[in-house]
Amino acid sequence: MRYLVSVIDDKSNPGSTDRRPAISAFNERLIAGGYWVFSGGLADTDAATVVDNRGEQAVFSDGPFVESKEYLAGVWVWEAPDLDVVLKLAAEASKVCDRKIEVRPFL
């Protein structure tokens, strides 16, 4: 099963900024274990654009779809046999990233 693993940062209390080497090493372990499918960091929410084309004409709005002190800073997609494996990896990821992690299975 595949899981979306979201990295949550906090604008008022951000995680450490020197985590790249540790995250790269963690990614290598995920790849070696066959869990890693995709990962990527995201630009700050100031760079976001929301597109709403549910009406007569598309509306483009600068900024995130919701204002919050917490925001999505990056994502992984992992493949694992069950949620228990993913939660164990997510606990490691939270420590490595120095940020909160949200895990959601794909449908």
Domain boundaries, the chain: 2-43+69-105
The predicted-structure confidence for 53-73, as pLDDT tens digits, reads as follows 999 999 999 987 777 888 899
Residue 103 has pLDDT above 80, yes or no: yes
Indicate the fold that domain 2-43+69-105 takes in CATH: Alpha-Beta Plaits (3.30.70)
Q: What are phi and psi of 22, to 5 degrees?
A: -70, -40
**Cβ neighbours of residue 60 under 8 Å, at least 6 residues apart?**
49, 50, 51
Residue 14 has pLDDT above 80, yes or no: no
C-alpha to C-alpha distance for 107 and 49, rounded to whole angstroms: 26
Residue 11: band (very low, low, confident or very high) from pLDDT cuts 50, 70, 90: confident
Would you say the pTM of this structure is higher than 0.75? yes
